[in-house]
Structure 1
């Protein structure tokens, strides 16, 4: 279900770099926590986590269907995914911080709506699905079940992202508005994630030949 330890550690490291990079979901989580407190932040984390998991499941089903049609698709997807990761890494290096200098303070809402909105924010982010489709195949064994492997890796990624999101909730509940002044430092998160993606893409492209069925 999971790759060998060295490759799994690379997956965890790259996943952690992505999860720590502020994006729309992180902004939403921080905003809800600052506006309504820790409990609302936790509700938003749960919604975002389920949205990410749904994206991972969708990517897993799509990849499994593609690999079932053509054995050559496995190699093509791995190389295309490696190229996408390098391109994404370059974009992250050139992109300013994703978090605005001010944290919005939305109106108070019930927890059920906060959960729903967090789910929608994560689910309807097309970059998440595209990233899963490019990222997960780099860690698959062509001789195993693509569906099982991608679901397992997707779950691991969502668990990592959930833990980092909980960290954002804790920080936001403690320091609150001071997070608004952290925007100028967020670019370093983009650079760390960008370096991880470029390294992973290069490793996949030149470190070994993708396995074939």
Structure 2
């Protein structure tokens, strides 16, 4: 594993994107546990990209404009769906000690997995960049790609969990201000729309 791979991984993971946005939003809305669950879900959402890259589907999508465009517009539709849900959400934020029940962990994981499965940033990373860090002379390419993917997933889990825990830590200062809550939701919804728009106009 090279320093270049580690630096590239840190840049890709640290750059705010759909997964980080969802984890932060979950931490603000539902607290630390939910944020960590969201981080785990986003990390699990990396697995399909890894499997596709390792199994050779990467070459197919890289050469097929139709396949890539299909995945991209599925991601656009999913982001717009999240924006719609966030905009319509008028539920009251409550502290963790409140009896109110946040979404179940499986629901959070399912949404988080969907966010990252349809994340073209990950598609580009695994389909275009990851193979460049695999040296055939260093051993079986399959094992090398699995190992590098594991490192990428570990970095994602740690960084997203940190984002989510920080967001959960400041949520008590947010929930006392209804206007801030409304502004926050509108901002997240607008950000989802902006990400969808950028995704829609991004070429391969």
Distance in 2, Cα, partners of 1:105 & 1:157: 34
Residue 128 in structure 1 maps to residue 122 in structure 2 = yes
For structure 2, the 5+ residue unaligned runs are: 64-85, 92-101, 175-179, 188-204
Counterpart residue number, 2:32: 38
The verdict on how the C-alpha distance between 1:26 and 1:105 changes in structure 2, with shifts beyond 3 A counting, is farther
Calculate the aligned-residue CA RMSD, in Å: 2.7
Residue 28 in structure 1 maps to residue 28 in structure 2 = no
TM-score norm. by structure 1 comes to: 0.58
Q: Report how many aligned residue pairs link the two structures.
A: 139
Q: Deviations over 1:87-137 (max 9, x none)?
A: xxxxxxxxxxxxxxxx97956421110011111111122331222111111
Distance in 2, Cα, partners of 1:15 & 1:40: 25
SS state at 2:103 partner: coil
The verdict on how the C-alpha distance between 1:104 and 1:12 changes in structure 2, with shifts beyond 3 A counting, is farther
Query: Which of 140, 156, 169 is the aligned partner of 1:174?
Result: 169
Counterpart residue number, 1:156: 151
Shift of 1:54: 2.5
Check conservation: 1:31, 1:105, Cα contact below 8 A: no
Check conservation: 2:134, 2:145, Cα contact below 8 A: yes
TM-score norm. by structure 2 comes to: 0.60
Residue 117 in structure 1 maps to residue 111 in structure 2 = yes
The verdict on how the C-alpha distance between 1:45 and 1:168 changes in structure 2, with shifts beyond 3 A counting, is same
